A and B are shown apart, each in its own frame.
Chain A
Amino acid sequence: MAAGERVAVVGASGAGKSTLLGVVNGSVPPTAGGVRVHGGDPAALRGRELRRLRARTGTIHQHLELVGPLRVVHNVNAGRLGSWSAARALRSLVQPHGLDDVRSALEQVGLADRMFERTDRLSGGERQRVALARVLVQRPDLVLADEPASALDPALADEAMRLLGELAADRGGALLASLHDPALALRHCDRVVGLAAGRVVLDAPAASLTLPELEAFYGVVR
Chain B
Amino acid sequence: MTAVLAAPPLHRDRRRWAWGLGGLVVLGWSLAGAGLFSGPVLNPSGLRQFGRFAAAALSPAHDAEFLRVLAEATLVTVAYAALGAALAVVLGSLGAVAVSRTTWGRRRAGWTAVRGVLAVPRGLHEAVWGLLLVNVLGLDPWVGVLAIGIPYGAVTAKVFADLLDEVPRGGYEALLASGAGRGTAALYGLLPQAAGGLLSYSFYRLECAVRSAVVLGLIGAGGLGYQLALSFASLRWEQVWAAVYALAALCVLADVGGRAVRRRVAEPRSADGSRPARDRVLVVAGLGSLALVAWSWWFLALSPATLTSARTVDQLSYVLDAAWPPATEGDLLTAIGSAAVDTVQMSVIAIAVATAGAVLLSGVAARRPGTGPARWAAGLAVRLILLLLRAVPPPVWALVLLFVLLPGVLPGALALGVYALGVLGRLVAEASEEVDGRPRAALRASGAPPLGAWLYGVLPALGGPVLALALYRWEVAIRDTVLVGLLGAGGIGVLLSGRIAAFDWAAVTTVLAAIVLLTLAVDLVSERARAALR
Contacts and interface: CB of A to CB of B under 8 A. Distances in A.
Given A52-B179, A65-B170, A116-B275, A81 B192 contact: no
A86 B195 contact: no
Contacts of A210: none
A128 interface: no
B224 to A, nearest CB: 38
B268 interface: yes
B183 A68 contact: no
Contacts of A61: 170, 174
Contact of B179 (A53, A63, A69): A53
Instruction: Classify chain A's interface size.
Output: 35 or more
A177 interface: no
Interface in A49-79: 51-59, 61, 63, 65-74, 78-79
A199 to B, nearest CB: 24
A101 to B, nearest CB: 16
Nearest to A93: B187
A97 interface: no
B175 to A, nearest CB: 6
A29 to B, nearest CB: 13
A203 interface: no
A52 B179 CA distance: 6
B274 A51 contact: no
Contacts of A82: 178-180
B181 A114 contact: no
B75 interface: no
Given A86-B183, A116-B271, A116-B274, A74 B176 contact: no
Interface in B167-187: 170-171, 173-181, 183-185, 187
Contact of B177 (A25, A90, A121): A25
B274 A59 contact: no
Contacts of B188: 67, 70, 74, 78, 81, 89, 93
A172 to B, nearest CB: 19
Contacts of B411: none
Contacts of B275: 116
A66 B178 contact: no
* Most-contacted residue by chain A among B173, B180, B189 (CB, 10 A): B180
Contacts of B184: 81, 84, 86, 89
Given A27-B173, A51-B180, A69-B195, A86 B187 contact: yes
A113 B273 contact: yes
Nearest to A96: B276
Interface string B437-461: 0000000000000000000000000
B178 A55 contact: yes
B178 A58 contact: yes
Contacts of B181: 51, 81, 86
Nearest to B183: A86
B93 to A, nearest CB: 14
B289 interface: no
* Most-contacted residue by chain A among B174, B192, B271, B277 (CB, 10 A): B174
A78 B177 CA distance: 12
Nearest to A50: B179
Given A52-B179, A54-B177, A83-B179, A113 B274 contact: yes
Nearest to A85: B184
A136 to B, nearest CB: 12
A58 B177 CA distance: 8
Interface string B189-216: 1001101100000000000000000000
A118 interface: yes
A36 B152 CA distance: 50
A148 interface: no
A59 B175 CA distance: 9
Contact of A67 (B180, B193, B268, B274): B193
B312 to A, nearest CB: 35
Nearest to A111: B273
Contacts of A138: 178
Interface in B56-90: none
A115 interface: yes
A74 B177 CA distance: 17
Interface of B: 170-171, 173-181, 183-185, 187-189, 192-193, 195-196, 268, 270-277
